[in-house]
Amino acid sequence: MNTYWNIIRPNVCFLASIGVLTGAILSSTVNPTAILIALIAAFLICAGGNVINDYYDYEIDKINKPKRPLPSGKITRKNAAAYYFLLSTTGTALALLVSPQYFTIAIINFTISTLYAWKLKKIAIIGNITDSFLAAVTFLSGALISTGFQNLSTSPVLILAGIAFLATMGREIYKDIEDTKGDKALGAKTLPILIGTTTSMTLARIFVILGAASAIIPYTHHIFTNNYIISVIPCITVLLYSTILKDPKKAQKTVKIGMFLGIIAFLIGALAGR
């Protein structure tokens, strides 16, 4: 069971749920039952996306990450496919209990995450944009528990989604650099393969710096108060620190920590009032 827990990357799934929770709080959602179901649905859909990602990355992970559950043989591909189906369908079914708009975004996320794992991940920029969208949309999903799509354009949640998008773009490019050997062996056309690792590192750093700089916008635009700006300082510091690291593996892990700190800061800002 521990192996089936590890393959879903639970830390990533928890981040997705926290993003949904932050969006819900910021949108003044008052139905605790709907929020709880939405959080579980987001966790399961994210988990399913991570499993199908490993399913399609099987050959690449034999080279890049041989200790992962699938390439190590701890889980068969057949069982992984069944696990993906169970997680994704359960999560999507739960989303139907939340609201029509939340169910719609759940279907969109489920579809995009599957397409990403199947084809889009191996396409330069397109794959990075897709995964960054999936990270950013968690905030918007939280807002959709109680509001419609037409209200998102004026929602402060949109700013938080933009920050998450920028930071994730940087992290995804770092990850592509880290996985260059396996990707190249199997004919993937990721950014580092097309433009080189040096240029890709520079581009990743630019996205991370933009994400770090954008993290102050919720304060300057009076979305959050002093509690937020104090709590987001560690996030900004960690993100900027990642840009001086030369090892892409360490850099992407550092960005991940920074993103976690950022989401905690967003949650503090939302809970502390605006």
Express the helix, strand and coil content of the chain in percent, nearest 5 each. Answer: 80, 0, 20
Q: Quote the CA–CA distance of 204 and 248 in Å, as a whole number.
A: 10
Number of H helices, E strands in the chain: 14, 0
Number of domains in the chain: 1
What's the domain range around 179?
2-272
User: Beta-carbon neighbour count of residue 157 at 10 Å?
Assistant: 29
Q: Which residues face 13 on adjacent strands?
A: none
Q: What is the CATH number of the domain that holds 93?
A: 1.10.357.140
Q: Quote the CA–CA distance of 94 and 98 in Å, as a whole number.
A: 7
Q: Give the pLDDT score at 274.
A: 56
Q: Give the pLDDT score at 273.
A: 65
Token pair of 195, please?
Answer: 């433009």
**Per-run averaged pLDDT (10 residues), the chain, 274 residues:** 93 92 88 96 97 93 91 96 98 97 96 94 91 94 93 85 94 93 83 94 97 94 90 97 96 93 87 71
CB 38 within 8 A of CB 103: no
Distances (CA, A) of 113 to 35, 68, 95, 108: 22, 19, 16, 8
Q: Give the pLDDT score at 29.
A: 83
Q: Give the pLDDT score at 160.
A: 86
CB 132 within 8 A of CB 172: yes
User: Beta-carbon neighbour count of residue 56 at 10 Å?
Assistant: 18
